């Protein structure tokens, strides 16, 4: 692949100087972006997309959620976000896991939100750490009931038990204790989540370099900030230093827009829906370039005096990906607990 894309991106990224508290995700994925063999960023398409971005496109993804979290107490909202993000990953399969709620079908992350909401309405103690610590196979199967078993069921069960036990043993059963320990700092909260709950430690190795992604942990911090509108538990400094949340949908949308360009070999694998192993160079490059494409879009918007943080660019792209159309390109297939 031509290095012209990478050279132009390098010239464009010297904009976000964070000497005091750098997000390790941004710091380490830059190395991947600058040394990628299979994925490049097309700056012309990125500029075109950015120049058509409107301020009204910036909204948080939970604003469109099919279950109204406003019905929950403050503590219940925190636990909902924590439990949801702990197992919000890997929904693809044939057929895709789907459930019906109020006569409408949902899949993916919306399906998980609905599964949680349905369980709460049925009186399940899903937001209680003690309940999670002893959650049975049968109880979780009932919670996820749909057309087919949800992928990675065993991994989800293990994670829910882990977070329930850890909350009880270290934090008095309350996720708010972790937020309080973070001293209203988004990056410190991110660090505490990753250190105390191993399933959030989304780390890879690329050309002997350690690369941090922290997709679900960053999304959790962003969700807290946005659900509480930057007040109370959501009053978090350094929120602007969160990056995009590298998953399946964001690179799919960026590729459709012509912003991410795959090598012929990688494009063939993705389009033929071949499995791309987690931790492989191709998978790491897709995720790292996704993060930096969103960074560069945010920079371009900043130049237009639209001060929109990368997390909101991410949410806009994710919501675009929910509008399925016949000309959609496939997303890459990776079996993983990290996204």
Collect all residues with Cβ–Cβ distance below 8 Å to 322 and sequence separation of at least 6: 64, 110, 249
Q: How many whole angstroms separate alpha carbon 140 and alpha carbon 324?
A: 29
* pLDDT on residue 61: 81
pLDDT one-digit tens code per residue, 207-230: 999 999 999 999 999 999 999 999
Global confidence as pTM: 0.92
Can you read off the two tokens belonging to residue 239?
């929120």
Catalytic residues: 247
Greatest Cα pair distance, the chain, in angstroms, is 57
Q: Is 206 exposed, middle or buried (0-12, 13-18, 19+ CB in 10 A)?
A: buried
Nearest of 242, 250, 206, 210 to residue 224 by alpha carbon: 242
> What is the token pair recorded at 96?
């895709």
Report CA torsion sign: 201, 206, 208, 213: negative
CB 207 within 8 A of CB 216: no
Q: Residue 22's pLDDT is what?
A: 85
Structure tokens at 213: 């992604």
Report pLDDT for 47: 97
Return the pLDDT at 18: 42
Give me the residues of the chain with pLDDT under 50, please: 15-19
The per-residue pLDDT for 15 is 43
pLDDT of residue 82: 98
Count the neighbouring beta carbons within 10 Å of the beta carbon of residue 135.
Answer: 19
Q: Residue 333, SS3?
A: strand
Instruction: Sketch the domain layout of the chain as residue ranges.
Output: 4-321
User: Which residue bears the tokens 């403050």?
Assistant: 74
Give how far Cα 170 sits from Cα of 129, 184, 185, Å: 12, 19, 20
**Torsion angle of C-alpha atoms 266, 269, 271, 277, degrees rounded to 10:** -100
Consecutive H or E run containing 39: strand 39-41
Q: 275 - beta bridge partners?
A: 333
**Contact in structure between 170 and 196 (CB atoms under 8 Å):** yes
């Amino acid at each position: 692949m031509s290095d012209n894309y990478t050279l132009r991106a390098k010239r464009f990224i010297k904009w976000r100087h964070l000497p005091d508290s750098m997000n390790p995700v941004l710091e380490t994925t830059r190395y991947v972006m600058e040394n990628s063999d299979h994925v490049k960023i097309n700056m012309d398409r990125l500029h075109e997309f950015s120049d058509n971005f409107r301020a009204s496109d910036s909204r948080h993804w939970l604003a469109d959620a099919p279950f109204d979290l406003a019905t929950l107490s403050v503590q219940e909202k925190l636990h909902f976000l924590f439990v949801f993000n702990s197992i919000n990953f890997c929904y693809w399969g044939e057929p895709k896991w789907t459930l019906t709620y109020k006569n409408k079908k949902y899949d993916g992350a919306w399906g998980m939100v609905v599964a949680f909401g349905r369980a709460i309405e049925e009186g399940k103690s899903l937001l209680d750490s003690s309940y999670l610590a002893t959650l049975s196979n049968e109880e979780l199967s009932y919670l996820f009931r749909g057309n087919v078993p949800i992928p990675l069921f065993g991994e989800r069960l293990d994670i829910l038990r882990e977070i329930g036990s850890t909350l009880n043993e270290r934090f008095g059963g309350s996720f708010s204790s972790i937020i309080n320990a973070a001293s209203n700092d988004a990056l410190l909260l991110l660090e505490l989540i990753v250190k105390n709950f191993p399933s959030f430690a989304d780390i890879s190795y690329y050309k002997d370099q350690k690369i941090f992604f922290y997709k679900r942990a960053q999304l959790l911090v962003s969700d807290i900030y946005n659900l509480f509108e930057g007040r109370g538990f959501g009053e978090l400094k350094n929120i602007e230093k969160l990056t995009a949340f590298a998953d399946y949908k964001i690179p799919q949308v960026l590729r459709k827009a012509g912003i991410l360009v795959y090598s012929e070999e990688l494009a063939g694998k993705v389009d033929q829906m071949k499995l791309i192993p987690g931790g492989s160079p191709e998978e790491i490059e897709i995720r790292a370039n996704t993060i930096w494409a969103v960074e560069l879009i945010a920079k371009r918007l900043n130049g237009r005096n639209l001060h929109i943080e990368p997390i909101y660019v991410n949410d806009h792209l994710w919501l675009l990906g929910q509008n399925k159309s016949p000309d959609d390109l496939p997303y890459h297939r990776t079996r993983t607990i990290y996204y």
